Amino acid sequence: MNFVRGIQAALFSCAALGALTAVASAEDAANWGSFPGYTLKVKLVGGTQYEKLYTRIPEWEKATGAKVEIVSSKNHFELDREIKQDIASGTITWCVGSNHTSFAPQYGDLYVDLKTLIPQATLDEFVPGTLAASMVDGRLVQLPRVTDVSNLYYLKDLYENADNKAKYKEKFGTELAPPTTYDELKQQVIFFASPPNLYGTAFAGKDEGMTGRFMEIVRANGGDMFDENWNPIFNSQAGIDALQWFIDIYNAKAVPAGTVNYTWDDIGQAFAAGTLAVDLDWPGFAAFYNDPAKSKVAGKVGFALSPLGTAGKRGGWSGSHSFSVTEACDNKEAAASLVNFLTDYDSAMMEARAGNLPTRTKAFTDVVEEFKKSDTPYMAEMFAVWGQSLADARTPPLVPQWIEVSNVIWPELQAAIVGQKTAKEALDTAAKKATQIMEDAGVLQ
């Protein structure tokens, strides 16, 4: 018996050891391969927020003996235009490109399916929803580096103010607390607004920002943009209610009238100036809002999960910045190795420390711990709240026509918000144009 037990123990410890070494090799995937003398051409999204990560590239160069040549470094939208130009002129001479989930479907078969190049064990370490959103037609065309989803920022002192609390209770019969539904949010932003010094909130009123926020509420109300056959259905009741939500807060002057012309930077500046009570916004603003040199509301910002719609769901409009490898690449192993390296655990932690949402499950819990330890509970709280909302994150429809459809929707939404059309008229017009686009593209028969 003892003998058998001994063998069992031995076997067990062997297994454990084996498992351990397996973990170790996955962990020091420090084996990034060896590509001496090879020059890898890459196109990376530029801008101070994203470039910090690239300081890690020399580390990869040292490990592999390869050289990285950055052939383009531009902002998100310009990179998109440049990649389209490259496709048009047939000059795909580079291997790795920055990508984004909203853009990826447009590029057709420009990029390889990374499932063939990256071990499944590595892919399992990503947040499942984020990874799933990176697929186009079942192909993993990109590996996400940071992800974005919106939650609420609010001014704590407004919610803690005794006077506000009393008035709110008197008026609505409930305690004043950060909103959990869009109806409650509407009620509160109207309650807080006292223009011109304080508005309830502001929303992105043009470009994809407008369409995205609308889509978020449509989905929270149980609707969607398209049905399974790609018929536009955003002019359903869920859509009309969603648009009415914007119209209502606009007419109640709970938002600055200029909001229909705002983009993210305007909203960020307005909240940082202390002129908005609540702000449904992206995680990248958290650090900005809490920096006394940049923001007046530093130290006063609270977080809450994004509100629920009439269907009791969250819209969770999300997108991820990512890296892709081109089909035309002459050394896909080296390219995949770099992509893998730039999204590995250390990279994820680097992104997280800078205030971006990482894409690896482990980085989420670890960075919260780290922030707690380093005495920045503000950022720890941010990651805790945003971590919860990832489960509801959904990308816009992953079709090549999305941006084009978005461009016919937002001007109509604006028209309804400023009172030129009714919600139904505007959405019907937009749906008609969207139908034409889908028909022209041959997606819709």
Partner 1 sequence: MERSWQRWLIRFAVFIVMAIICIPGLWIVMTAFRDNVEVMARPPVWIPERWTLDNFRAILGMSESQQGIPVARYFLNSVIISVTSTVLAVLIGMMGGYAFARYRFKGKNVAFLWLMLSRTVPGISLSLPVFMIWSRVGLIDTDFGVILVYLALNIPFTIWLIDGFFRQIPLSLSEAAQVDGCTRWQAFWKIEFPLAKSGIASAGIFAFLTSWNEFALASQLTRTTASKTLPVGLMDFTAQFTVDWTGMCAMAVIIIVPALILTFIVQKHLIAGLTFGGVKG
Partner 2 sequence: MRFFRSRLSPPILLLMPAFVIIALVVAVPLLFSLYTSFTGYRLVKPDSLWQWVGLRNYQRLLSDVDFWWAFGRTLVFLTVALNLELVLGLCIALLIDKLTAGQRVIRTIMMFPMMFSPILVGFQFKYIFNDNVGLVNNAIQSLGWSDVTIPWLVNPVTANLAILMAEVWMSTPIFAILLLAGLMAMPRDPIEAAKVDGCNPWQVFRHITLPYLMPFVYIAMAIRSLDVARAYDMVKIMTNGGPAGRTELLWTLIARTGYQDARMGMANAMSYASILLSVYFTVYFFRKLAAARRTMGGVA
- Are 312 and 343 spatial neighbours (Cβ–Cβ below 8 Å)? no
The reply on whether position 289 binds partner 2 by CB under 8 A is no
Of 243-302, binders to partner 1 (CB under 8 A) are 264-265, 268-270, 272-275, 282, 284-285, 288, 292-296
DSSP codes joined into one string, 305-372: PPPB-TTS----BEEEEEEEEBTT-S-HHHHHHHHHHHTSHHHHHHHHHTTPEESBHHHHHHHHHHHH
Each residue 205-224 as x (binds partner 2 by CB under 8 A) or -, in order, gives xxx-----------------
- Are 324 and 35 spatial neighbours (Cβ–Cβ below 8 Å)? no
Q: How many residues does the chain have?
A: 445
Beta-sheet strands, E only, within 212-317 = 278-281, 301-304
Kindly indicate which of the ranges 234-242, 316-324, 385-393, 403-411 contains the residues binding partner 2, using the contact rule CB under 8 A: 403-411
Which member of 29, 49, 61, 444 binds partner 1 (CB under 8 A)? 49
Cα separation, 23 vs 20, in Å, equals: 5
Rounded to a whole number, what is the distance in angstroms from the first to the last CA of the chain? 72
Nearer residue to partner 2 within complex by CB, 83 or 363? 83
Residue 276 Cβ, how far from partner 2 at the closest point, in Å? 8
Hey, is 168 helix, strand or coil? Answer: helix
Nearer residue to partner 2 within complex by CB, 131 or 272? 272
The reply on whether position 407 binds partner 1 by CB under 8 A is no
Which residue in this structure is represented by tokens 């410890």?
13
- Are 129 and 391 spatial neighbours (Cβ–Cβ below 8 Å)? yes
b vs e for 103-141, b when ≥16 Cβ sit within 10 Å of the residue's Cβ? bbbbbeebbbbbeebbeeebbebbbebbbebbbbeebbb
- Residue 226 interacts, among partner 1, partner 2, none and using kind-specific CB cut-offs from 5 to 8 Å, with none
The reply on whether position 400 binds partner 2 by CB under 8 A is yes
Which member of 14, 132, 257, 391 binds partner 2 (CB under 8 A)? 257
Binding region for partner 2 (CB under 8 A): 81, 84-85, 87-88, 90, 106-108, 195-196, 199, 202, 205-207, 256-258, 260-261, 266, 269-270, 273, 275, 400, 403-404, 407, 410-412, 414-415, 417-418, 420
Binding region for partner 1 (CB under 8 A): 43, 46-52, 55, 70-76, 78, 81-82, 85-86, 88-89, 91, 100, 148, 197, 264-265, 268-270, 272-275, 282, 284-285, 288, 292-296, 321
